[in-house]
Amino acid sequence: MSGTPGVLIRLARQALANAREHPYLTALFGFWSFGYTIMVPQVLGGRYLPFLSEQMGGRPETLFVAFGLLMVNVVVFAFVVPFGLWMLVCWALGRDEEQDG
Amino acid sequence: MEGFLGTKADFWWDVTLTTETIVVAAFFMGWRFGKLHQGLKHQKAMLVATVLVTAWLAMYFTQQAIAGLSGFDGPESIKYGLYLPTIIFHSLVSTLAIVLSGVQIWSGFRWSRMERGEKVLTGKGAGRHRRMGKVTLLSYLLSVITAYMIYFLLFVIYAPLRTPEYGAAQSVGILTAIVVAAGAVLAVGGMLLARKTQAETA
């Protein structure tokens, strides 16, 4: 399989393998990541949704778009970035057979 | 108390930024020694950098206690689109960098030994130490880049929401205590390390 779906499937397989190989580390990163799902909206604060809604004209439906943007921030900082960091740490920990010490 | 970098930042913010730069530079110097296979120099540089980063953390918490949050007074679009996301990302990579530093110090001692007068990595943890070092340095690099971004947004491009007020004597006193404590740890640690290295070489 090639293209974006192929890359995503390979990434998912690698993530599964990492989770099996480093369960405690995965749990730790999972907990950290979960904390950020609460922390990100907290840091962005109560003015975030009204501000974005006002920027888009202030109609009631714009609040849904603003909420969507807030969710994008949550996904990026509570999932994508911690996931990337976790993959990097797993890469550093794994593959002992390739070590050259 | 005014800062010394000529920006709108106060004294503690300027101290935070300059010392963070020094600490990260020390880590990169240590990494360079590692790349050149100068194990002893690498070990010393990394231990010094770790003491410095611990002192820096103490100083950062002091800054938070004394000066507190400055607040961002720029446009809301920049605040929500750049400033706050940068702070969130900065907190993620900085936490990882600090934790991995500790892991690396442990693994450096665990997987190294003296060989012909030089410290070398050995055993199954050697590869891990090298790869984890790259991840740690990347975290520090991203941390310092985002720290500069936050500083520029807060104090160079825009102005802080409030200027904290605190006494110079108190700040200088605490800072001196941290520097003296870090110096003492470096001196005692250096003596202990020299003794250990001598014993391993003999």
Mutate which: A88, A97, A100, vs B, most B CBs within 10 A: A88
Which residues on A lie below 8 Å from B132 (Cβ)?
A: 89, 92-93
Q: What is the pLDDT of residue A88?
A: 95
CB-based contact, A101 to chain B, within 8 Å? yes
Indicate whether A97 pLDDT > 70: no
Mean pLDDT on B165-194: 83
Please tell me the distance in Å from A63's CA to the nearest CA on chain B.
15
Contact A99 B100 (CB under 8 A): no
CA A85 to each of CA A18, B75, B89, B97: distance values in angstroms, whole numbers, following the listed order: 12, 31, 11, 11
Range of the domain at B107: 11-201
Is A7 within the bounds of a domain? Answer: no
A85: domain range? 20-93
For chain A, how many structural domains are there in total? 1
A82 within some domain: yes
The whole-model pTM stands at 0.88
Does A92 contact B92 at a Cβ distance shorter than 8 Å? no
Condensed to tens digits (0 to 9), the pLDDT of residues B9-23 reads 888 889 889 999 999
Q: From CA B127, how far away is CA A95, in angstroms rounded?
A: 9
Nearest-by-Cβ selection for B128 from A32, A39, A92? A92
Q: With respect to residue B135, please indicate whether it lies within any of the assigned structural domains.
A: yes
ipTM: 0.86
Residue A77 near residue A36 (C-beta atoms within 8 A)? yes
pLDDT above 90 (res B174): no
Distance CA A81, CA A93 (A): 18
Residue A32 belongs to a domain:
yes
- Domain assignment present for residue B5? The answer is no
Q: For residue B3, is it within any domain?
A: no
Return the percentage of chain B with pLDDT > 70, whole number.
100
User: Does A91 lie at the interface with B, CB-CB under 8 angstroms?
Assistant: yes
- Provide CB contacts within 8 A for B122, sequence distance 6+: A101, B111, B112, B113, B115
User: Does a structural domain hold residue B6?
Assistant: no
Ranges A31-35, B56-60, B141-145, B160-164: which has the least confidence = B160-164
Whether the pLDDT of residue A96 is over 60: the answer is no
* Residue B1: inside a domain: no
Where do we find the tokens 């907190």?
B91
Task: Select the more confidently predicted residue: B173 or B50.
Answer: B50
CA distance B66 to B68: 6
| pLDDT over 80 at B85, yes or no | yes
- Residue A35's contacts (CB-CB under 8 Å, 6 or more residues apart) are none
**Contact of B106 with B128, CB cutoff 8 Å:** no
pLDDT for A11-61, tens place per residue? 999 999 999 999 999 999 999 999 999 999 988 888 888 888 888 888 888
Domain count, chain B: 1
pLDDT 10s digits, A58-92: 888 888 888 899 999 999 999 999 999 999 999 99
Residue B123 at interface with chain A, using a CB cutoff of 8 Å = yes
Flag whether A1 is in a domain. no
